[in-house]
Amino acid sequence: MKLRHLLDTVIFVDHLNGIALATAWLGSVPDGQAAISAVTRAEVLVGTDEGDRPSVLSLLGKYPCLPVTVEVADRAAGMRQRHGWKLPGAFQAALAEEHGLRLVTRNTKDFSPEKHAFVLVPYKL
C-alpha cells in the first residue's frame, strides 16, 4: 500500500489518553497507509511513563518513521519563517509536503484545513 498520511503527535496523545475518536480513527487507517515522523516519535516517548514504554514503542513501531533530512530541515525553516509555526509543527508540515502526504492533526490553530490543503482533521473534540 502507498503511504497517504503523516500522523501528528496529538493523534497519539489523544489515543493514549483514551479518546475514543482518536482510537477509532487510528483503527480505520489501512496498514501501510500512515507514517510518523521522528519528531512525533520523540514527542510521544517524552510523555510516556516507563511502565507504559513497551506498549507505546509497540504502537509507534506499527508505523514507518520518516527522518528529518537536510532538505526537510531547510523546508521546515522556510515554513516556520512564513507561517510563524513552532519548529516541531514546521517539521511535520515539511515532512508531509516532502513526501506528498496529508498531515493528520487536530491542531487547527496552526494547521487550518481551509488554509492548508495538505491537512486532514479526522475528528474534533
The fold of 5-120 is Rossmann fold (3.40.50)
29: left (phi over 0), alpha (psi -120 to 50) or beta: beta
3-state secondary structure of 119: strand
Domain boundaries, the chain: 5-120
Q: How many CA atoms lie within 13 A of 32 on its CB side?
A: 2
As given in the structure block, the three cell numbers for residue 89 are 509543527
Reported as a single tens digit per residue, the pLDDT across 51-107 is 999 999 999 999 999 999 999 999 999 999 999 999 999 999 999 999 999 999 999
Per-position DSSP letters for 51-110, written without gaps between them = GGHHHHHHHHTTS-EE---HHHHHHHHHHHHHH---HHHHHHHHHHHHHT-EEE-S-TTT
Reported as a single tens digit per residue, the pLDDT across 29-59 is 999 999 999 999 999 999 999 999 999 999 9
Instruction: Place 1 in a pLDDT band, splitting at 50, 70 and 90.
Output: confident
Position 117 scores a pLDDT of 95
Position 52 scores a pLDDT of 95
Tell me whether residue 119 is exposed, middle or buried, using C-beta atoms within 10 angstroms of its C-beta: 0 to 12, 13 to 18, 19 or more.
buried
Strands 34-37 and 65-66: parallel
Q: How far apart are CA 116 and CA 69, in angstroms?
A: 22
